[in-house]
Amino acid sequence: MDKFFVYEMQTLLRAFIAVSAILIGLGVKDGGSEGETPAQFLERYERETLPRWNMVAEAAWQQKTNITDENTAAFGKASLELAKFSQKNEKQALVFLKNNSLQLTFDQRRQLTKIADIGTSAQTNKTKLKRLQTVISEMEQIYSKAEVCMNPSGDCLKLEPGLAELMRSSRDCQNLSDAWRGWRDQSGKKMKDLYQEYVQLSNEAVQILGHNDLGDYWKSLYDTSTFEEDVAVLFDQLLPLYQHLHSYVRRKLKEQYGPEIFPSTGHIPAHLLGNMWSQQWNNIADLVNPFKNKQLMDVTEEMKRQGYTTKKMFQTAEDFFYSLGLDNMTQIFWEKSMLERPEGREVVCHPSAWDMKKQDDFRIKMCTTINHEDLMTVHHEMGHIHYFMQYENQSFTYRSGANPAFHEAVGDTIALSVQTPSHLKSIGLLKVGDEQDKEKMAFMPFGYLIDQWRWSVFRGDTPPEQYNNEWWHLRCRLQGISPAVKRGADDFDPAATNHVVANFAYIQYFVSFVLQFQFYKAACVAAGYTGPLYKCDFYNNKAAGEKFKSMLQLGSSLPWPEAMERMTGQRHMDAGPLVEYFEPLLDFLRKENGDDYGWEEKCPENPPPCNARTIKLDTSLWTVSFRASGRLGLRIFD
């Protein structure tokens, strides 16, 4: 993604699996005493944990906003300190949970269970724990520092903004192919051995807690033994819409580039979709827009004409939330957030929202660009901040989303409302233009397949020599996307994606893809909206805001179905609102495609090269004019 992301640290508590990668020794003496009651234990744990995590968050913030050898070394020391604290409390929590003579309340049992499940910090071998943290840090550094040199003069581009802008704006097939391959050579290909080690060390750590492997641990966070089957059912329900979208886009791209560079298998070459990972296609809207006489949903030029600054973008988002009856950002937010790329130091630009575990201290880290896409990202990230703010008064163990997907779904629910033409008109950014469908479906299979690949790797079903082959098997079969150039076993393309490198589960994005439409419809109903769902804007509606508050304030203090019920009246994931939202789009695509849709499961053996039919624009690296792209749809953000 990514800007996901993503979310290299959407919240420091998404799962304790992140602990080993972000900690710093705090010099606080470990508490604990024999004879504690569960209530006394939980009170002490709360008292000692919050200041520790504030210092952990500060250290992580410094490392992500100033990548230095010193900060990386601090991570190595850090994980051992907090892991020791976590392990001691985990053991005590397990003692209470296994003592059948104790009359634990629901709340005590829930908190103790969360404390006991500490992810990779369960590793008691200090050498292995330190090595795991080092491996993750080394992979992140390779990713963050990677750059691709595109021309003989030696001009080199990092992912953000250079390569990302090239993928967004260029219509030169060869340029796109070179950037696509170059990024993978300079990032993922250099990490394969490290990733093998990461898999082994991570599995060993969570097996101490009784999990089969790291994927099993991630799935356990959803509190259902059928989670893998549940998401597979959702994917099958949504696949027909994606297949029709894919086939429509493929036909339009063939008109642009010529059919010769498209494989006969029906796949779309990965470098032609306006994004380094092909998981969102909004940047090729100008090529696939079926209504040439209608304005594309992109307000970039209007933002620039009105003199939008980074701060104004964040203030615009702040106003949306305030209109729902939620609080403004804190003074600390404005003082300490990193909202633009700083000069003179390496940073992780991937947008992320941070709960610093200290009163009023919430931050966003983002290298913001003045454009439509980043305006949506800003609203999304601020959605995370409001979740943090609403559950700030919960116990430490409950200061997280109801399940790992809830945080992402909340941000995207807001973005669904913000990107409607009616809302953009109401804030003065869109003066003309008809209502039109806006699709997010391009992301759906990508959000599903990344962890399908990782679950297989963690289980041992996919050995290292098959890492890349299985990755492309899934992408070709599930996404209908084929590699730009021939890939081999020595390549390691999964690690060209931020979330694989940064050790974050990805299935939450797929789940949030479903949940956000349930939340969106609930907010629209609360606001009294009765029109087509895709046109709903609940801006300035306090009733919709109260629905959000009722769910957000719970954090993870109750099982996620109960939190969902507060917002939607339902206790299960339901694709119905999503299908309702996209029904006009599906009707249109069916008429356009007829029976011409779908692709073969197997990847093409030899991807066709770029050829003379390719339209040559003035998009060489040293002369490229990065123009604003239209929006076929709304991305999934971190």
CB 366 within 8 A of CB 338: yes
Task: Report residue 127's pLDDT band, with 50, 70 and 90 as the boundaries.
Answer: confident
Report residue 503 as tokens: 């050790």
**3-state SS class at 353:** strand
Neighbours of 68 (CB within 10 A): 12
Q: What is the pLDDT of residues 349-382, one digit of tens each?
A: 889 999 999 999 999 999 999 999 899 999 999 9
Q: Which residue has the higher pLDDT, 5 or 85?
A: 85
Q: What is residue 635's predicted lDDT score, i.e. its pLDDT?
A: 25
Report residue 159 as tokens: 């992912």
**In the predicted model, is pLDDT for residue 88 greater than 70?**
yes
Task: Report residue 95's pLDDT band, with 50, 70 and 90 as the boundaries.
Answer: confident
Q: How far apart are CA 364 and CA 193, in angstroms?
A: 33
- Helix 372-390, helix 542-552: angle, nearest 10: 60
Q: How far apart are CA 78 and CA 62, in angstroms?
A: 13
CB 444 within 8 A of CB 636: no
Q: What is residue 474's predicted lDDT score, i.e. its pLDDT?
A: 95
Which amino acid, 103?
Q
Distances (CA, A) of 41 to 97, 114, 511: 12, 14, 35
**In the predicted model, is pLDDT for residue 23 greater than 70?**
no
Q: What is residue 637's predicted lDDT score, i.e. its pLDDT?
A: 28
Q: What is residue 296's predicted lDDT score, i.e. its pLDDT?
A: 61
**Residue-wise DSSP of 512-552:** HHHHHHHHHHHHHHHTT--S-GGG---TT-HHHHHHHHHHH
Q: Which candidate in 372, 381, 386, 407 is catalytic?
A: 381
Q: What is residue 180's predicted lDDT score, i.e. its pLDDT?
A: 94
Report residue 600 as tokens: 């073969």
Task: Report residue 129's pLDDT band, with 50, 70 and 90 as the boundaries.
Answer: confident
Question: Are β-strands 147-149 and 481-482 bridged in parallel, bridged antiparallel, or unpaired?
Answer: unpaired
Q: How far apart are CA 465 and CA 471, in angstroms?
A: 12
CB 404 within 8 A of CB 17: no
Q: What is the pLDDT of residues 413-472, one digit of tens each?
A: 998 999 888 899 899 988 755 444 446 778 889 999 999 999 999 999 999 999 999 999
**3-state SS class at 332:** helix
State the average pLDDT over residues 567-587. 90
Classify residue 208 as exposed, middle or buried by CB count within 10 Å of its CB (0-12, 13-18, 19+).
middle
Classify residue 92 as exposed, middle or buried by CB count within 10 Å of its CB (0-12, 13-18, 19+).
buried
Q: How far apart are CA 496 and CA 373, in angstroms?
A: 22
**In the predicted model, is pLDDT for residue 295 greater than 70?**
no
Active site residue 244: no
In this structure, what is the dihedral angle of CA atoms 425, 430, 435, 439, given to the nearest 10 degrees? -110
Task: Report residue 294's pLDDT band, with 50, 70 and 90 as the boundaries.
Answer: low
Whole-model pTM: value is 0.78
CB 353 within 8 A of CB 10: yes
State the average pLDDT over residues 515-541. 95
CB 289 within 8 A of CB 249: no
Nearest to 243 by CA among 633, 5, 612, 600: 600
Q: What is residue 22's predicted lDDT score, i.e. its pLDDT?
A: 33
Beta bridge partners of 338: 365
Q: What are phi and psi of 338, to 5 degrees?
A: -105, 100
What DSSP element (H or E) covers 147?
Answer: strand 147-149
Which amino acid, 123?
Q
Binding residue ranges: 222, 380, 384, 408
Nearest to 477 by CA among 485, 469, 466, 488: 469
CB 64 within 8 A of CB 347: yes
**In the predicted model, is pLDDT for residue 621 greater than 60?**
no
Q: What is residue 262's predicted lDDT score, i.e. its pLDDT?
A: 95
Average pLDDT, the chain: 84
Q: What is residue 79's predicted lDDT score, i.e. its pLDDT?
A: 61
Q: What is residue 78's predicted lDDT score, i.e. its pLDDT?
A: 64
Q: Which candidate in 246, 350, 372, 499 is catalytic?
A: 499
Which amino acid, 33?
S
Task: Report residue 623's pLDDT band, with 50, 70 and 90 as the boundaries.
Answer: very low
Q: How far apart are CA 5 and CA 496, in angstroms?
A: 13
Binding residue ranges for chloride: 222
pLDDT over 70, % of the chain: 86
State the average pLDDT over residues 293-322. 89
**3-state SS class at 364:** strand
Task: Report residue 14's pLDDT band, with 50, 70 and 90 as the boundaries.
Answer: very low
**In the predicted model, is pLDDT for residue 9 greater than 80?**
no
Residues in the chain: 638
Binding residue ranges for Zn(2+): 380, 384, 408
State the average pLDDT over residues 4-26. 34
Task: Report residue 76's pLDDT band, with 50, 70 and 90 as the boundaries.
Answer: low
Active site residue 392: no
Encode burial over 121-134: b for 16+ CB neighbours within 10 A, e otherwise: bbbeeeeebbbbbb
Q: What is residue 556's predicted lDDT score, i.e. its pLDDT?
A: 94
